[in-house]
A and B are shown apart, each in its own frame.
Chain A
């Protein structure tokens, strides 16, 4: 805990609860004057929730925020801006159709005799951008400039409006190396001016290049705050993905892994811009775990296998016969199943009942000309509600009223109802409570024992270690390592991700 005197922004014991999930649990975050502070964590760790609480986009449920030693309570982003906290997002939140100068001064254009003084506005805009080494025609529309320049214009506006704290949310995600360089020069200059800068990213090289301190969140909790200079990269990664349980869960199962014949073979399979070509064999009764940091190509791998994106190289084989997986329909026809990562947008249909959600994929595969009878639907729904222990009053309850874990199990039931032989699960335990967590892990185990082939993507390392028979490690949209047998340990996985990262930085 730092003394409050040198802290520009101090957030203590911040709580945020969403229905069914605790997004932030008593998180502390301290930002000093003139520092770049990286805020790290996997998807769903609570980074953006914390930022939204600081900028007033969310109302926090508990905790205090001190700015310059004075307690503040930002009501909305506009209010936070006035207090001195400005935010720049990855997708530039400016108006592409207005001129650069209009974007900088929207709502506070200089006026003369009641009319906007366009000349003065453009002069001031040029003067403002001079500080950022930008020499632009400020009368041109914003969208005639590259994303990097738009980003800088957004920063200039945020700093000009707020001027104490600048939050950069994934600012480099769509920039190339040169543009990142330019952005970092500007960040350093602002830092020298005494601004406190919060930097959110998933590029670890950039964290080491620009940040002074690092705060890591995991599952809505603070893991720790460290000085960047003294934090080893592999320690950072294990802070981010955790490694507590691991080995003993696995040792209990050692020896009983019986992998069947290779059923699915992908050779040189890939898609430009999504995932580099990879080779992958999947056997019956095998769980292939996919490990890697956010943005390393995990979901892309799943989507290309399921045909959600068409592969542009390589070939796929099912049981030794070449197949085309050009669409999810084709994949489903070969008895593939896919539970996507974000169940809210890509999974559940909130207003439909639990029964309707469960039979959805099965009905889709049969086609609408062969409807499932109501008795049949009831039988299937009841079977899975019992088998997966879905906690619902009855099968006709709208699924949005269920808790996250039970929704996740219903989605799983939807795919199990199609009797898939190869099931892809993308973050099956995201955002559900600990009890449901363990049940899903047990379920995966059970499916494997029945001879199903599974591929599971997860950010939880100990979880992957617990149920995977093989782990593929991804980095920068490439498959970089495969771990088997007793090499599957949290340490080995972290090692593989970290060394891959060092190679990436070199």
Chain B
């Protein structure tokens, strides 16, 4: 097997094993109802994590995701409460703002040669602050169109449902996989992760690619914000705190190298499922504190970082002896 598939395989094996363990204790976890809920509950995180995957593959980081989600939610709530704009138009507006916001961060990172960490950290405070400017209260969204959207679902055998937002997440992952592996842009993203200087020498349009990557991450954070507002039917400026960290976790557990250049969008999907599964298990158990989710995910993350180091080390020493 090629070494680049190793982390992904490990993730899949861990997922299947832990799923089997959960099923042995609570057979109901296997039901389509649980699976459908798992997708719905993690839809916003999954969509944002696809954007994060591209950012990390290119060797960057985007800390603004959680704030952009909150901003989008508040923005939608305020617009729908105070104006007669149709939600679809409001969605388009929100996506546009989020995309431009991401593109702007990408442009700053590229043209001012600033570390992505700092630029997106500033973006994180800025977006969160803008959400507070719009409203400091949690605003419920009562627009009838929201109800209509929530009514859409695909019924699975066994009573489970794939909701609109769960399905949207699956679609985003599918498109993400296609972009990563079947477009020149996708290869350019990996190229940046392999080394910006070399990529530039080989003719990769570094500036355009960087801006597109952060624009894509912004777009998906905006979409995630829309999904989040559908999920909660509200907009609140304190919502989605730390979601960027959950997204990074999903990406790393999914086998993507934090230093960039190696990994899979599909791996991030498994990473999301693993996180969702742990939460579901704790819900089923009922007596465990929900902090156990954090503890388990922390341990998993640690194991994965160690594993990645091991793989990098092994492939280096192999090369040396080759």
Contacts and interface: CB of A to CB of B under 8 A. Distances in A.
B187 A106 contact: yes
A107 B315 contact: no
Interface string A295-314: 00000000000000000000
Nearest to B178: A115
Interface stretch (B68-76, B127-135, B146-154, B189-197): B189-197
B2 A77 contact: no
Interface string B186-229: 11101101110011011110000000000000000000000000
Given A97-B193, A141-B4, A146-B319, A109 B202 contact: no
A95 B191 contact: yes
A107 B204 contact: yes
Contacts of A146: 319, 322
Given A78-B203, A145-B322, A98 B182 contact: no
A97 B188 CA distance: 12
B182 A115 contact: yes
B190 A94 contact: no
Given A102-B187, A141-B3, A94 B202 contact: yes
B184 interface: yes
Contacts of B318: 144
Interface in A97-134: 97-98, 102-103, 106-107, 109, 111, 114-116, 118
Nearest to A78: B203
Contacts of A102: 187, 190
Interface string A150-180: 0000000000000000000000000000000
Contacts of A4: none
A344 interface: no
A317 interface: no
A141 B204 contact: no
A485 interface: no
A97 B261 contact: yes
B183 interface: yes
B262 interface: yes
Contacts of A77: 201
Contacts of A115: 178, 182-183
A116 B182 CA distance: 5
A143 B187 CA distance: 16
A140 interface: yes
A318 to B, nearest CB: 37
B315 A144 contact: yes
A107 B184 contact: yes
Contact of B187 (A109, A139, A141): A109
A387 to B, nearest CB: 43
Contacts of B182: 115-116, 118
A98 B190 contact: yes
A145 B2 CA distance: 12
Interface residues of B, number: 28
A329 to B, nearest CB: 31
Given A95-B195, A146-B319, A140 B187 contact: no
Contacts of B322: 145-146
Given A106-B203, A116-B182, A145-B322, A95 B194 contact: yes
Contacts of A96: 194-195
Interface in B169-193: 178, 181-184, 186-188, 190-191, 193
B233 to A, nearest CB: 38
A334 B245 CA distance: 53
A144 B190 contact: no
A109 B184 contact: yes
A111 B190 CA distance: 18
A143 B182 CA distance: 21
A94 B187 CA distance: 13
A92 to B, nearest CB: 9
Nearest to B197: A93
B184 A98 contact: no
B319 A98 contact: no
A155 to B, nearest CB: 14
Contact of B198 (A93, A143, A144): A93
B319 A106 contact: no
Contacts of A139: 2
A116 B315 CA distance: 28
Given A98-B190, A102-B187, A93 B201 contact: yes
A98 B187 contact: yes
Contacts of B262: 97
Given A109-B184, A115-B182, A97 B201 contact: no
Nearest to B184: A109
A139 B318 CA distance: 18
Contacts of A109: 184, 187
A94 B3 CA distance: 19
A58 B289 CA distance: 63
A145 B318 CA distance: 10
16 contacts: A78-B203, A81-B203, A93-B202, A94-B198, A96-B194, A96-B195, A97-B262, A102-B190, A103-B202, A106-B187, A106-B203, A115-B178, A116-B184, A116-B186, A140-B2, A146-B322
Interface of A: 77-78, 81, 93-98, 102-103, 106-107, 109, 111, 114-116, 118, 139-141, 143-146
Given A102-B187, A141-B3, 18 more contacts: A78-B203, A93-B198, A94-B198, A95-B202, A97-B190, A97-B194, A98-B187, A98-B191, A103-B202, A106-B188, A107-B184, A109-B187, A115-B182, A116-B182, A139-B2, A141-B2, A144-B319, A146-B319
